[in-house]
Amino acid sequence: VEEVDLETYVARAVAGEGGDALPPAALEALAVATRTFAEANRGRHAPEGFDLCDLTHCLALRSASTKSREAATATRGLLLYEKDRVAELYLSASCGGHTERPSLVWAGARDAGHLPARPDPVPRP
């Protein structure tokens, strides 16, 4: 078990989930999303004695890069909210062209209004 502060975790998760090929604005958006995920999932692995792991069902962590640290620093403290609480969100490498309601993918997941099932507007090669 490794203990790291939240902003170090964000920089490492941005490196693991986004790499350095994305433009700065995309890395910053990913930093906000990963920080939100980390806050919303504190205690996810409490029975094992820690909050989050480095496997893909949490967030993939890599060594932080200059770009991932810059994205974390530029968005320091920013979180996404749903009404008055930290938003639940999920990250996926590929949705196959269509997102799905969380409850149909993960047993027990809540279907938040900001996570509808819909076509993905981003074209894929």
Question: By the 8 A CB rule, do 120 and 95 touch?
Answer: yes
Torsion sign, CA atoms 85, 19, 55, 118: positive
Whether 95 shows a pLDDT value over 80: the answer reads no
The tens digit of pLDDT for each residue in 19-62 reads 999 999 999 999 999 999 999 999 999 999 999 988 878 899 99
pLDDT of 90: 84
Q: Quick one: average pLDDT of 69-74?
A: 98
Torsion sign, CA atoms 92, 97, 99, 103: negative
